[in-house]
Structure 1
Amino acid sequence: MATAAFEEIAEDFEFLDDWEDRYRHVIDMGKAMEPLDDALKVSVTKVDGCASQVWLHPTIENGVFSFKGDSDAMIVRGLIAVLGALYNGVPTAEIGGIDAHAELGRLGLNDHLSAQRSNGLRAMIERIRQVASA
C-alpha cells in the first residue's frame, strides 16, 4: 500500500546494510527538502510531543493529501521527508489505512530511534491522520 516514493526509499535502504549509512541517508533526505516558509511556522502547524521544533503544513486538494514540513533537527527533517514519501499524494480516504509503524519498520527506523524521536514520529503521524480524517 506504500507509495512509489516510499518504495524507492525502502529499496535504497536494502542496499545500506549499516544503520549509520541509513541514518546519514535520512539526514541527507532532510537536507534536500525545501525549507518551510517561516510564515508557516506558527502555533497551528507546530506538532506537540516532539523533542525538537516540528511544523507540518498539510493541504488537501481534490481529496488528495499532501504536506510540507520542517524541523530544527536534521534527523527530524529527514523523518519528515520519509513521512512525505509515505503520505503525500495519497487520497485522504486511504490515509487511515496506512500502517505507518509497519512501513517504517521495513526501514528499521522503529529499532534505531530514541524514545523521544519515536514519540515525535508518532505525534507527526497522528497529526497527519487527524487532518486527513477531518
Structure 2
Amino acid sequence: MNPANLPPDARKALAAFAQCTGWEQRTRLLMQWGEHLAPLHAVERCAANRVQGCESQVWLVAERRNGQWQFRASSEARLLRGLLALLLVRVEGANDQDLAALDLVDWFAQLHLSRQLSPSRSNGLQAVLQRMGELTNR
C-alpha cells in the first residue's frame, strides 16, 4: 500500500519504526506505542467486549462518531498492547471493505515487526480484526 493512502498516525508509525536500527529498539518503541492506547473503563473490560481467539485477554470497543467507526482496545500483555495500538492506527477511518481487505501480515512487515508476529499473536490479531468487522456490521 502507498503510505500516502494511510491514516496520518499510521504514517507516523511507519516513519518511527523505519528509524529503528535493531530489534531491541523496535521492542521498546512497540511498548511505547502500547502506552498510547486510550484506557478502557472497568465496565468496558467485560465478557461482551472480550475478543475470542486471543491467548491473552483482549477487549475491543467500537463506537460510531461523526459517521466513522472508532475503536479502542486493551490487553494486559505489554507487547500485545503495542501491536493493538499499531492495528488501531492502521484501521483509523476504515470502512467495512477496508477492514475486510486489510493484510495484517503485510502491515506488520512494513513496520519490520514480522518477528513479533508469532502464529498465536497473528491469530489473535486476526480475531481482533474479525471482531471489528462484526461490530461494524450490526
* TM-score (structure 2 length as normaliser): 0.85
Moved more, 85-94 or 118-127: 85-94
2:12 to 5, 8, 12: 8
C-alpha deviations, 1:107-127, integer Å up to 9, x for none? 122333222222211111111
Preserved CA contact (<8 Å) 2:55 2:124: yes
Query: Is the counterpart of residue 61 in structure 1 residue 49 in structure 2?
Result: no
> Residues of 2 paired with 1:52 and 1:73: CA distance?
7
> Residues of 1 paired with 2:6 and 2:54: CA distance?
25
1:129 is matched with: 133
The alignment's C-alpha RMSD in Å is 1.8
Moved over 4 A (4+): none
1:128 is paired with a residue whose SS is helix
Moved more, 121-130 or 84-93: 84-93
Following superposition, the deviation at residue 92 of structure 1 comes to 4.2
* TM-score (structure 1 length as normaliser): 0.87
1:74 is matched with: 78
- CA distance change for structure 1 residues 114 and 95 in 2, over 3 Å: closer, same or farther? closer
2:105 is matched with: 101
> Residues of 1 paired with 2:137 and 2:27: CA distance?
31
Structure 1: which 5+ runs fail to align? none
2:117 is matched with: 113
1:42 is matched with: 46
- CA distance change for structure 1 residues 93 and 63 in 2, over 3 Å: closer, same or farther? farther
Q: Report the identity percentage.
A: 29
2:35 is paired with a residue whose SS is helix
Structure 2: which 5+ runs fail to align? none
